[in-house]
Structures are given as structure tokens and as C-alpha cells.
Amino acid sequence: MFSIDTESGFPNVAVISAAWGLGETVVQGSVDPDKYLVFKPLLEQANARPIIEKSLGKKALKMRYAEGGSKRTRIVETSPAEREAFVLDDDDILELGRWAVIVEAHYDRPMDMEWAKDGESGLLYLVQARPETVQAGLSRSSFQRYQLKTKGGTPLVTGAAIGSAIASGQACVIRNAADIGQFRDGAILVTGTTDPDWVPIMKRAAGIITDHGGATSHAAIVSRELGVPAVVGTGNATTVLRHEQAITLCCAEGDVGSVYDGLLAFDREEIDLGAIPTTRTDVMVNIANPAAAFQWWRLPAKGVGLARMEFIINALIKAHPMALLHPERVSAEDNRLIRELTRGHASPADYFVEILSRGIAKLAAPYHPYPAIVRLSDFKTNEYSHLLGGRAFEPEEENPMLGFRGASRYYDERYREGFALECRALKHVRETLGFTNVIIMVPFCRTPAEADRVLAVMAENGLRRGDNGLQVYMMCEIPSNVILAEEFAKRFDGFSIGSNDLTQLVLGVDRDSDLLATLFDERDEAVMRMVSEAIRKAHAAGIKIGICGQAPSNYPDFAAFLVNECIDSISLNPDSFVRTMAHISQAEQSPRAEPTPAPVLAA
């Protein structure tokens, strides 16, 4: 038994919590349930199964009926098998998601619900429904954005992030309710778990940190209601953090909340959505981390212009795809870590496909039904080798930036099997989870012949361009992509300019070199001519072209240049979205203007 929340800060997602046994809410401070996210708009589509996240909770305790006499229930530990298994199968998750949509529609407002499953018959029951009062009451015309000014190093503890704010102050470690009177206003409460007795001091806290509990624990629920940031379920905060220690609690980095040593400086910005102008140019967002995807859903973006697959692999999967397929080629220690990482899945390959597909879906959900352009993996060999098991499969290269990366890997026997897993994940996203708004983008494709080989391998793995509306784009980031744009346009549905690599290759400047940093400028005339030519040739060929590089976020005049060249879309980092939208709108209303030339360096 546990809960369903139809308004979790992102209105199109139902959050379902689940734990073993009965009456879990009584002991939820120690339960930490499983969590499932269901994308509600796709539940109506035939054959779609839009479960975009499945998180395994600890579920240390459960409540069960006692036998004999007047005893009713007793609290017992769960078995190892119960802790390692998901409480609900996918059919149950989807059924509960559909019920949530029906109840929400009936009451015409976001709802909190509780459900139960009969242990003998397996039947599901909805046992309670009440209006959601926290997220539903927040303003839809503005939101606050928090950001650390400097990184805090390795977190002291981590847990589930409740809210998206940052707080700093002295830790007030209180282990027992009898010591509540010791709390001082404005401190950060650190405790094992909370119950209603703790609410008076929770109201006076700048932040809350607990050892136990998950996203539906008492501490999490009350923190949301109070608007106080919290990091719950850390496991060891009361032993790691010292009483009166200066700390910073950060919930602004996604699902995981972190606690850092010291009073770190941070920014708080109020974003007025009503002040953001509309533009003729489609303005999209670059999203890297699935955990942070829902923080920015309020932005009026026309989709995701760049979702980097390698970021998902690095953050969530953590292992080299070939190591998952060939564990016999990695060290015994890496093999052990891979088995631990992939436990609960039918095979390591299934682990890769499921985690990657749900990560992609979570990136595609916030702006559905607008397009989400997902770039195929573009790790360099030195980056791939840092993944678990990666050293067994990656060569050492003198210049990985110009080496075995992007398109060249996908048809090569050294990575072809790994690429097949990427294709399986994308096929699952589109055809099983239902996100047909996902567009695939091929990076670092050097020649039209290489494009043909990549498209052929994709088709062999069930991703044939045009089937089920599948569009395939290409990163336009190599001079050959611009010079032979007419030929590439015959093979792809759109281009996206990667200004970082294009600048590097046009100017011959290593973009990672500190020594050459002053020479790297996207506004150099040679780069701008390349960009202009790419836009002209794409339009002449009748395909769309956008840009997903850093330049328009960094330079307002470069954004104006793109508008003057009639680019179809500009994709921005979320933190620069509002500022750059204003520049784009201004450029659309102004006479044609040329950008400021890059500075001329003295000899």
C-alpha cells in the first residue's frame, strides 16, 4: 500500500510510491518506498507504456497482520528478496496511472491518492483521494531558480531532494523528540526521521535533513507544504554532520539533494514567465541530465534541441556498453561491480536498454508533444575508457577529439554491438513508451558515405528513417558537412549546427586547450561564413536547420546574426533561456544587423 500524486511539480506526471505490506504510512520514516513516474498524456495511446522512471527503494520494514488473539498488526523486517525486487510490475503501474488520470479528471484538480493491493487475489484498490494542496497552489506565472555560485566539492551526504531551493546555516543535530526544545530558529534540522511532534520546529528551520525516509515520508510531505528545502533518506546524516557545523543544503541539482561543508554562496532568481517575449524563431532548450529535466518545464520552449545520450550513460548507466555485453573481457573487480550495478535486471544488456530508454523519455516528457532531438553517443575514447569496464575496449589516442568518435563508431566492429543497444533503447522509447516526438541525431559524421553506413546499421536495428514518423538529423559541425551540405541533406531530415566543434575545426583550435583559449571565438568571420552557408544550403534543400552550440547563449550579437540568417531554431541552455529570448525578440524586430567581429589579436 502507498500513494499516487498527480501533481509533483510537473503536471503531466503521476508519481506512484509502493512498499511491501500494510499501512506503510505508519512506518514510512524507515521505509523509503519504490518510486515510479508515469507520463499521463500518453496513457490514452494504444499500446503505449509510458513509465519514464522506476526507482528501487530500500523498503527495510513492513507491517503485516498478526495472528491470534486481539493482536492486529506487527512491524517486521523485509526479506533480502523483497528489498531487491520492485513491488509493482509494469501492468500494475500503468493501471494505477490510468486511475489517477480518471480521478483527477473527475475532480478537475490535482489529487493525492492512496492505493492497496490484495496479497491473495492480486487485485488493486483505490482507498483514498484528496486534493493536492502544495504544488497545485504554486504560481504558474513565475518560478524561482537557485544555483550554487561555486561547486562545493564532494557532498558530505546525499539523499532525495525535496523542493528545488538551496539553504545554508548551522546544523542542529537532534536525535530524539525529547530534545526538540534545543532547536534554534533558522538552523538546519538534522535528525533520523520526523513525525507530527516535529512540525513546530520544522516550521522554524531553514532546511531539513533526515537519515530515513523517501519522497513520501513525513519529512518530505511537511517540507513541501512549508516550502522548506529538505534532503531525506541520507542514511547517515546524524553521524556524519556535527552539531553547529556550517553546511549548505542544495536541492537545485535534480532528484538528488546534496549537503556540502561550509556556507556556500548561491544565487536566487525570480523568473517572470509573463515577461518572456514570443519569437518567430523556434527557441528550444538543451537538456543534459534527466534528473533535472522537470526543473525547467515552465519555460516556453518549443522542444528539446539537444539531449546528449552520453550524459545519460555517464550519469545513470555508469558502465561501458561493450563491458555489459562482454564481461569476460574486463577485470574481476569490474565484473563484480557490473553484477552489482545490473542486479534486478534480466541481463546487463537489458539494464542498459531500460535505464537509457527511461532516461531519454524523462528528457522528452517536459515539452511533449514538441520534438526532442536526442544525439547518439559522442564519447571520445578517453571519456569512454573512464566508464566501468571501459579500459578493456578503448584504444589510447593522441588526439581523441579528432579520433574514434561519433558516427565512425556505430558501424565499426569495435563498437557495433554497443550501438545496437543504443538503437534498442531508442526503439523502446518511441514504440513502447510512446514518445514518437523523439528525433535521432547523428554526431560527427565526416562523409556522405559514412552517413549511408550509419543509416544502414540503424535500419538493421529497427530504426529506419521514415518508419513510424522517425526523423533523423545530423550535427553540422565539420567543414565537410557545410561544403557537401547538399549531399548530406539527401540523407537527413534536418541539421543542427554544433558551433563548438565547427569553430574548432574551421580555425584549427583545440577547444579544450587553455593555451589557445583566446583564439577560440565562434564570431570569427570564417566561422560565421560557414554558419551562414549551412543555413542557406539547408533551406535550399528544403530541410530544417537549427543550432545547439554555446554561441547564442554567450553572445547576444551572435543570436541576432542567426535571426538575420533566418535560422529555423535556436536551442539554449536553460539558465540562459530567458535572457537570450529577449535578444532574439529584439533582433526579430530590428533592422538587419551584423554581429560584432571577433577581436583582432596583436601579433
> For the segment 521-540, what is each residue's pLDDT rounded down to a tens digit?
999 999 999 999 999 999 99
pLDDT over 90, % of the chain: 62
The segment with the largest mean pLDDT, out of 2-11, 60-69, 339-348, is 339-348
* Active site positions, annotated: 218, 548
- The pLDDT assigned to 82 comes to 84
Would you kindly state where each structural domain of the chain is located, as residue ranges? 2-137, 142-270, 276-589
> For the segment 150-181, what is each residue's pLDDT rounded down to a tens digit?
877 899 999 989 888 999 999 999 998 888 98
- The pLDDT assigned to 481 comes to 98
DSSP 281: S
Q: Is 259 exposed, middle or buried (0-12, 13-18, 19+ CB in 10 A)?
A: buried
Does pLDDT of 72 surpass 80? no
- pLDDT band per the 50, 70, 90 thresholds, residue 27: very low
Q: Residues for the chain: how many in total? A: 603
What does CATH list as the number for 142-270? 3.50.30.10
Task: Name which residue leads in pLDDT, 514 or 536.
Answer: 536
Q: Which fold is adopted by the domain 2-137?
A: D-amino Acid Aminotransferase; Chain A, domain 1 (3.30.470)
- pLDDT band per the 50, 70, 90 thresholds, residue 138: low
Does pLDDT of 143 surpass 90? no
Task: Name which residue leads in pLDDT, 48 or 145.
Answer: 48
Does pLDDT of 30 surpass 60? no
Instruction: Give the mean model confidence (pLDDT) for residues 131-139.
Output: 69
- pLDDT band per the 50, 70, 90 thresholds, residue 192: very high
Task: Name which residue leads in pLDDT, 22 or 522.
Answer: 522
Task: Report residue 598 as a C-alpha cell.
Answer: 571577433
- pLDDT band per the 50, 70, 90 thresholds, residue 224: confident
Under 8 Å between Cβ of 188 and 208:
yes
> For the segment 315-328, what is each residue's pLDDT rounded down to a tens digit?
899 999 999 999 99
- The pLDDT assigned to 457 comes to 98
Q: Which helix (H) or strand (E) holds 473?
A: strand 472-476
- The pLDDT assigned to 505 comes to 96
Does pLDDT of 26 surpass 50? no
**Model confidence, pTM:** 0.85
For domain 276-589, give its CATH number from 3.65.10.10, 2.60.120.10, 3.20.20.60, 3.40.1110.10: 3.20.20.60
Query: 404-407 long-range CB contacts below 8 Å, 24 or more apart?
Result: 404/380, 405/378, 405/379, 405/380, 405/381, 405/443, 405/444, 406/376, 406/378, 406/442, 406/443, 406/444, 406/445, 406/475, 407/442, 407/443, 407/444, 407/445, 407/446, 407/450, 407/451, 407/454
Range in 15-24, 367-376, 496-505 with the lowest mean pLDDT: 15-24
- In the chain, % helix, strand, coil (3-state, to 5) comes to 40, 20, 40
Task: Name which residue leads in pLDDT, 188 or 219.
Answer: 188
- The pLDDT assigned to 189 comes to 96
d(CA 232, CA 198): 15
- pLDDT band per the 50, 70, 90 thresholds, residue 57: confident
Peptide bond into 369 cis (omega under 30): yes
> Where do we find the cell 562523409?
447
Range in 107-111, 245-249, 471-475 with the lowest mean pLDDT: 107-111
Strand boundaries in 288-398, DSSP class E: 304-308, 372-375
Three-state secondary structure of 548-574: CCCHHHHCHHHHHHHHHCCCCEEEECH
Does pLDDT of 22 surpass 70? no
- pLDDT band per the 50, 70, 90 thresholds, residue 558: very high
Instruction: Give the mean model confidence (pLDDT) for residues 56-73.
Output: 76
> For the segment 392-433, what is each residue's pLDDT rounded down to a tens digit?
999 999 889 999 999 999 999 999 999 999 999 999 999 999
Average pLDDT over all residues of the chain: 89
Give the C-alpha distances (Å, rounded to integers) separating 508 from 37, 216, 399: 46, 53, 13
Does pLDDT of 603 surpass 50? no
> For the segment 225-283, what is each residue's pLDDT rounded down to a tens digit?
788 999 998 989 999 999 999 999 999 887 889 999 999 999 988 888 888 899 999 99
